[in-house]
Chain A
Amino acid sequence: MSATLTIVPAELSPKGIARLTNFRLIPRVDTYPAVVSFAQMVIGKLVLLVLFGLGLAYASTDWLILILCLALMTFLPAQRRILVTISTLLFAFVVPWKFFKQPFYSVVLIALVLTLAALLFWCATLWPRSWYGRRPVFVFLSSFSLLIVIVSYIPQGTKAYQLVWDLTIRLSVYIWFICYSLLDRSSPSRDPFSLQLGSYRPFWGSTNTPFAKGAAYLRRIEARNPEQLAVTQLKGLKLLAWSILLSRFLEGFNYCAAAFLHVPQFSEALRLSANRTPLPWYHCWASILVGFFGSIISVSVFGHRFIACCRMAGFNALRNTYRPLSSRTIAEFFNRYYFYFKELLVDVFFYPFFLRYFKKQPKLRLVGAIFAAAGFGNAFYHFVRDLGFVQKFGLRGALASYQVYLFYCFLLAAAISISQLRHRKPAPSGFIRGQLWPSFLVLLFFCLLNVFGSTDRNYPLTVYFRFIGHLFNLSL
């Protein structure tokens, strides 16, 4: 027995595993005292900015203006928050000017949306006890839904049609940012609207999901002294480097999958399956595996870049994607894969439900809140994000074609509910039972779930079920 124990390779021993998990491709320069001290000096700040600028020049098109904004925040930390607002307005109105089809028209629309946001915020703070002031997010999202219904019934060809649609679509881009401002209304240290504005599609980049949440989060994670700023900026530089490495890896991964392994894209495999000429089952599996891992890496790449710039501006925001492959539960993967989207769902849908309803029935309370967030909130977010489909198919058509993603949301919410209802306990000991096997099952689940995660609305749900059948060599 002892003999067998002595021949266990060093790599598989707990020490070996610990060494492997602690290995860093990019050194932890933010923990080196000499580097942190250097980054606080003027020359150190300049070196950091130059290195960051070189990384941005590789990864982003508007790198020069971005690095100038970051330089201002680095050297004027006391004015950081107002500089964030100015930079954000610059990136909302001036930087994309050349990309707007009708620049003046687009600028007026954005200005109208931001004015509406200011009015909503001020009303919520001025009349906190009013019907609107008590539930501003609910009232705002309900009103926006009503607006979509009304707009979808405006006849095409009328004068108002295009204007109202353009305004609604522009507003849809900002709704989640406005929600975060409204959630901040009752905070004792609430920021004025001028600072809230800095978090509305901030200059460091964002999708429709607010990256680094709202102004409330920014003021809590802001660097308070030169040392904190140096550490935060070094973390930002590291994250940008990691984002660039991942983007190179993604290019190589996609090239290898397509050129050497001849793995078809998921959309192609699905199209053939829909036409009843499916690929062999192993090609179908290869297509979903490559698609799934590709999506994890691409989400990491853009998320890391946004957060790297946010950190360089002096805000120690958490990473958007953090070791998703090590998740041991479904809820954990959802948290690690796209952190700020999950946070949005939790803040806007989960907590309002959880804190109000079914307090006497704990299981129903939890499941209801999960369905409100991962089910309804998730579906609502993507429906609003793709309002073009409502314009194209009409409201009923858009809802009917949304069946696949609705099913995805239902499955996701059900899976997270089951994951959360199981009693939480420490993981079993041992690398295989405690880490490898649960992580494998979680990834397998999300890999299969991802089949239904398509939002392009080309096929009905039955086509996706048929594809799942083909994965198991079944002809449906």
Chain B
Amino acid sequence: MDHNVEVREFFKGLLAIRHDRQPFTDSTSFFLSGRLSSVDAVELVVFLEEKYEIDFAEVGFDQSQIDSVEAVGSLLNTVKAID
């Protein structure tokens, strides 16, 4: 499964918990725009660690790296390239 699809689904789930049913694109900002909060960021971090084995303590963490589907995709590609 394409990782963008999985990440998109994960974002959709986080938004559903907040009753946010507005549409979004791959470049939609979630954290900087305030649609999601740092509580949601923690869930996303855990998801990325478990699913893609990203070690944020190693690669460094910045909320902008996970701010959109596109940003997460780019982070995953970078991590894959390093591995």
Given contacts A220-B32, A354-B45, A355-B57, contact A427 B19 (CB under 8 A): yes
Interface residue count on the A side (C-beta < 8 Å): 27
Contact B64 A220 (CB under 8 A): yes
B42 in contact with A366 (CB, 8 Å) = yes
Query: CA A259 – CA B69 in complex, angstroms?
Result: 55
Chain B residues within an 8 Å CB radius of A14: none
Contacting residues, chain B, for A332 (C-beta < 8 A): 37, 39
Query: Chain B interface: which of A56-64, A239-247, A294-302, A342-350?
Result: A342-350
Knowing A362-B46, A424-B17, A427-B19, the reply to whether A351 touches B61 (Cβ < 8 A) is yes
A425 touches which of B17, B37, B49 (Cβ 8 Å): B17
Binary interface encoding of chain B residues 36-62 relative to chain A, with 1 for a CB under 8 A from any of its CBs, else 0:
011100110110010000001100111
26 A-B Cβ contacts within 8 A?
A187-B62, A216-B62, A216-B64, A220-B32, A220-B64, A221-B32, A322-B34, A335-B37, A335-B38, A335-B39, A342-B38, A346-B38, A350-B38, A351-B61, A354-B42, A355-B45, A355-B61, A356-B57, A359-B49, A362-B46, A366-B42, A420-B39, A424-B17, A424-B43, A425-B17, A426-B19
**B-contact bits for A352-371, CB 8 A (1 contact / 0 none):** 00111001001000100000
> CB-nearest residue of chain B relative to A434?
B19
Let me know if B56 and A355 touch, CB within 8 A: yes
Interface: B16 (CB within 8 A): yes
Given A186-B60, A356-B57, A426-B16, check contact A331 B34 (CB 8 Å). no
State the CA gap A73–B46 with chains docked (Å): 41
Contacts from A to B (Cβ < 8 Å): 186-187, 216-217, 220-221, 318, 322, 331-332, 335, 342-343, 346, 350-351, 354-356, 359, 362, 366, 420, 424-427
Q: A426 to B17, Cβ gap below 8 A? A: yes
- For A331, the chain B residues whose CB sits under 8 A away are 39
Q: Which residue of B lies closest to A345 (CB)?
A: B38
Which chain A residue has the least Cβ–Cβ distance from B67? A220
Which 9 pairs show the lowest CB-CB distances between chains A and B? A355-B56, A318-B34, A355-B57, A346-B38, A356-B57, A335-B37, A186-B60, A331-B39, A355-B61
Q: How far, in angstroms, from A366 to B34 measured CA to CA in the complex? A: 22
Chain A residue at minimum C-beta to C-beta distance from B58: A355
In the assembled complex, the CB of A135 is this many whole angstroms from the nearest CB of chain B, namely 11
Closest Cβ–Cβ distance, residue B32 to chain A (whole Å): 6
- Give the docked Cα–Cα distance between A362 and B19 (Å): 26
Give A145 to B49 CA distance when docked, in angstroms: 33
User: CB-CB < 8 A to A346: which residues of B?
Assistant: 38
The chain B residue with its CB closest to the CB of A366 is B42
